[in-house]
Amino acid sequence: MDKFFNPASVAVVGAGEKNLGGSVVKNLLSGFDGGIYPVNPNYKQLHGIKCYPSVAEIPGKVDLAVILVAANAVPPVLEACAGKGVKRVIIESAGFSETGDEGIALQKKCLQIARKAGMRLWGPNCMGLVDVHRPYFFTFMNPEVREELLSGRISLIVQSGMMSAIFLAELGRRGIGVAKACSIGNRADVDECDIIEYLQDDHDTDVIALYLESIPRGRRFAELARKSDKPLVLLKGGESRAGAKAAVSHTYSLSGDSRLLNSILDFSGVIKANSMFQMMDMAHALTGISNINPACRAAILTFSGGAGILACDALEKSGVTVAELSKQTRRAVAEIFPSWMPVSNPVDLFPAVSVKGRKIAFKGGVDAVVRDPGVDVVVIHFVAGIGDEAPDLYSLKQQADENGKILVFWLMGRRLGSLQFKEEAERAGILVYEDATRLAECISSAARFSAHREERGQNPGNPEVVKDKSAAEPLPETGKSWDEHDSKKFLAGFDIPVVDEKIVSSADEARAWAEHAGMPVVLKGLVPEKGHKTDCGLVKLSLSDRLSIESAFKDLSDKVKGSGRILIQKQVHVDYELIAGFMRDPAFGACVMFGLGGILAELEPDVVFELAPVDRQRALKMIRSVRNRKLFQGFRGRPPLDEEAAAQILVDLGRAGTAHPQISQIDINPLAVNRGSPVAVDAGVVLT
């Protein structure tokens, strides 16, 4: 990949006087210090340099070719590049897979040529790449946008062509600096994973910000994110379109609406943004806050009680704790406060102004909270240009640094005053926000990345998927989908606790088993093709005497009519229902799922997904990430879940699923919890 970013020479095929190829040449001339070779048979010279009639006729080596000819003219150009020994090509032309069948075929053809020639192919349908530090512009991007770019520590990976220009323009407008910007288009070959990997060692990049509409190599993406020392901030387009999946199993249906993707990326430490500007602001914050207490606690200083309350609301909503000030801090603050005023956080300095004056009040407030060991972030609400005199921001930053505190301003005020303040603060390395909500979101994202990094130190990664066939019983040979009983037998083979049960073929046998095992019992008619047993009247609960067992058996026999069989099982006492599952996702591969079961969980799914197999520690993390985990943590006197036992089930479920490639989905639903112990009461395995 490095030669994409650091070629010694670049050919631009399709350059002209005024076309997009010509813009590439002009952009190259503005900063690229290697060989520049425009290719176009119609010109001898272009933009002041020699132009070549064909790639073959370029003297010397070509490290990178940028192609901007009409789509159907691209394959011959690629052949020419192959002939010349060019190993890296960026196709910026459009008209490929995004346009339908013909374009898909054309793109496939390009990829074949590239593969054969051992050539890496970037694009097509993209804006190429930009390195603001060098500055290198291998792109047809408008030169006016180029001029507004600031160099910085964020690198961008953007799927859509137009969007990368928009991102760069907006970052320039907001005064946020950029290292590299990679517009990857249709991703025929080079994709976001390749670039993330490359940027790991890029000295100019501290944070990677991405705009993607799909993540076809999801598993690789998640694995790279887990290893990355640089935060990944992702804006995902098309969230509302995630749309309906055909629900074969609960696990599969619950993975929809981006739930699987979001869950796994969350476990991978990816920071998800939900709008363009939030993405930019979070990425910017992460370049400034590289180390923060994951359980981050904020002190708030303000001259307006109302603003203090709003800051508090915003921080708590984002999961940032409003710090409990220490005794010493409170004593120090009390010295500048009027006697009637109790000290609390937010620290409202307004009444202190009347006692000590504005300057001493401000200094006293800062001095007190900045030294508090229970404070990680100092949020200062400030109004520039009406009354509040600007403090010396450099010494304020130094004071914060010396005390190991993050300093952030919530800035308001008049037009000019606040603009000046903001520029001054950013020069001093202080983050400034106009919006308290955004401020809180950014602090929270930094804390989440810290938490991820800390956790990773303790548990470096998931176990590899091993085809551990020795651990698995051979797969039962009963056709495409197994019934409940076969499914549970299979799971029991992986040490997953299942309910006591037996297939019975007569009412007598059922009654005898019940008398031996103890009542109440449940009778079920197993017909693999029928969807939901309860909905079809195939489940008979709470059978406590011989008579009801016999009548239930008879009824079910009529219903299954030789197309299925009848299962008897002990009716276990259920304190609450959970759900666990396994599935193979096209992008993320083998995954395990865990969450709340029962009807309301179907209304508002509360489940998490993780790459399978999982180890004990990751399984515990899954269990502790369920939104309403308090349900199984001793809620209203219910016996708490044995989390170790549940974690073991997830570990075993991952083993079971990954051991057999024929298994596409497994449901344990419900995973019933009886006095803390989880047990599979119903289960299903779906084979491909």
Q: How far apart are CA 4 and CA 572, in angstroms?
A: 62
Write down the least CB distance from residue 357 to its own copies, Å: 15
With binding defined as CB under 8 A, does residue 303 bind its own copies?
Answer: yes
Sign of CA dihedral 612, 618, 620, 621: negative
As measured in angstroms, the least distance from the Cβ of 170 to its own copies is 6
Interacting stretch for its own copies, rule CB under 8 A, among 8-16, 61-69, 127-135, 595-603?
595-603
Q: At closest approach, how far in Å is the CB of 442 from its own copies?
A: 14
Lookup: tokens for 10: 């670049």
* Given 31, 34, 135, 385, the residue binding its own copies (CB under 8 A): 385
**Does residue 598 touch its own copies according to CB under 8 A?**
yes
Q: Indicate the residue among 341 and 687 with the shorter CB distance to its own copies.
A: 341
Of 3, 61, 317, 573, the one binding its own copies (CB under 8 A) is 317
The whole-angstrom separation of Cα 36 and Cα 39 is: 10
Question: Is position 676 an interface residue for its own copies (rule: CB under 8 A)?
Answer: no
Residue with Cβ nearer its own copies (56 or 541): 541
- Interacting residues with its own copies between 532 and 571 (CB under 8 A): 532, 535, 542, 544
Considering only residues 325 through 364, tell me which ones interact with its own copies, judged by CB under 8 A: 338, 340-341, 350-351
> For the range 390-394, what are the long-range contacts, defined as Cβ-Cβ under 8 Å and sequence gap of 24 or more?
390/421, 390/424, 391/362, 391/363, 391/366, 393/424, 393/425, 393/428, 393/430, 394/428
Q: What is the dihedral of CA 62, 67, 71, 72, to 10 degrees?
A: -30
- The piece of 1-9, 16-24, 130-138, 592-600 that touches its own copies (CB under 8 A) is 592-600
Quick check: 48 binds its own copies (CB under 8 A)?
Answer: no
- Tell which positions 571-590 bind its own copies, by CB under 8 A: 576
**Only segment of 259-267, 310-318, 608-616, 647-655 that touches its own copies (CB under 8 A):** 310-318
> H or E stretch including 138?
strand 136-138
Q: Does 637 engage in binding with its own copies (CB under 8 A)?
A: yes
**DSSP output for 290-359:** ----TT-EEEEEES-HHHHHHHHHHHHHTTPEEP---HHHHHHHHHHS-TTPPP-SSEE-HHHHHHH-HH
3-class state of residue 24 by DSSP: helix
CA-based nearest residue to 12, from 492, 215, 23? 23
Asked if 11 interacts with its own copies (CB under 8 A), we say no
Contact between 531 and its own copies per CB under 8 A? no
- Min dist CB 659 to its own copies, Å, is 33
216 touching its own copies, by CB under 8 A: no
Q: Which tokens in the block code for residue 334?
A: 């009390």
Q: Is residue 415 involved in binding its own copies (CB under 8 A)?
A: yes
Residues 195-214 that bind its own copies (CB under 8 A): 211, 213
Of 61, 331, 630, 675, the one binding its own copies (CB under 8 A) is 630
- What is the token pair recorded at 283? 């990425």
Considering only residues 259 to 298 of the shown chain, the ones binding its own copies according to CB under 8 A are 274-278
- When the beta carbons of 163 and 286 are compared against its own copies, the nearer one is 163
604 binds its own copies (CB under 8 A): yes
CA torsion angle for 52, 56, 62, 63 (degrees, to 10)?
120
Near its own copies by CB under 8 A, which window of 5-13, 32-40, 143-151, 289-297?
Answer: 143-151
Runs of H (alpha helix) within 403-496: 415-427, 436-458, 484-492
Shorter beta-carbon distance to its own copies: residue 341 or 645: 341
Contact yes or no for 322/345 (Cβ under 8 A): yes
Name the one range near its own copies by CB under 8 A: 221-229, 366-374, 435-443, 448-456.
Answer: 435-443
The answer to the question of residue 435 lying near its own copies (CB under 8 A) is yes
Degrees (nearest 5) of the Cα angle 192, 88, 73?
A: 100
Regarding 6 and contact with its own copies (CB under 8 A), the answer is: no
Which region, judged by CB under 8 A, interacts with its own copies, from 4-12, 314-322, 660-668, 674-682?
Answer: 314-322
> Quick check: 100 binds its own copies (CB under 8 A)?
yes
**Alpha carbon separation from 310 to 120, 409, 443 (Å, rounded):** 52, 14, 16
Residue 144 is a binding residue for its own copies (CB under 8 A) = yes
User: Distance from first CA to last CA of the chain, Å, rounded?
Assistant: 37
361, 631, 641, 679: residue in contact with its own copies (rule CB under 8 A): 631
Q: Which is nearer to its own copies, 23 or 255 (CB)?
A: 23
CB 161, min distance to its own copies, A? 8
CA distance 32 to 253: 51
Judged by CB under 8 A, does residue 634 bind its own copies?
no
CA 211/CA 160 separation, integer angstroms: 8
Residue 167 identity: F
Among 306, 373, 479, 518, binds its own copies (CB under 8 A): 306
3-class DSSP assignment, residue 209? strand
Least distance in Å: CB of 250 to its own copies? 12
Q: Which of 24-32, 57-65, 164-172, 581-589 is the region at the interface with its own copies (rule: CB under 8 A)?
A: 164-172
Q: Which two tokens stand for residue 428?
A: 């001093």
599 makes contact with its own copies (CB under 8 A) = yes
Taking the complex as a whole, the smallest distance from the CB of residue 600 to its own copies amounts, in Å, to 4
Q: Decide if residue 463 touches its own copies (CB under 8 A).
A: no
243 binds its own copies (CB under 8 A): no
Tokens of 568: 């008897």
Stretch that binds its own copies, among 43-51, 142-150, 460-468, 558-566 (CB under 8 A): 142-150
Contact window for its own copies (CB under 8 A) among 8-16, 247-255, 482-490, 632-640 = 632-640
How near is the Cβ of 321 to its own copies at its closest, in Å? 11
Is residue 312 close enough to count as binding its own copies by CB under 8 A? yes
What is the rounded CA–CA span in Å between residue 501 and residue 522?
Answer: 9
- Pick the piece of the chain touching its own copies (CB under 8 A) from 72-80, 152-160, 194-202, 223-231: 152-160
We find the least distance from the C-beta atom of residue 495 to its own copies, in angstroms, to be: 30
Q: Work out whether 423 is an interface residue with its own copies (CB under 8 A).
A: no
Which of 650, 604, 606 lies closest to 631 in space, CA to CA? Answer: 606
Report the distance separating Cα 553 and Cα 622, nearest Å.
Answer: 40
Distance of alpha carbon 148 from alpha carbon 351, whole angstroms: 44
Give the number of residues written for the chain. 688
Q: Taking the alpha carbons of 604, 610, 616, 622 in that order, is the dihedral positive or negative?
A: negative
Query: In degrees to the nearest 10, what's the CA dihedral of 652, 655, 661, 667?
Result: 20
Is 173 a binder of its own copies (CB under 8 A)? yes
The CB-of-631 to its own copies minimum distance in angstroms stands at 6
Outline where DSSP puts E strands in 474-588: 501-504, 521-526, 539-543, 565-570, 576-585
Instruction: Out of 2, 17, 102, 392, name the contact with its own copies by CB under 8 A.
Output: 102
Are 676 and 642 a contacting pair, CB within 8 Å? yes
Site for its own copies in 484-513 (CB under 8 A): none
Q: How far is the CB of 148 from its own copies (least distance, A)?
A: 6
Residue 139 contacts its own copies per CB under 8 A: no
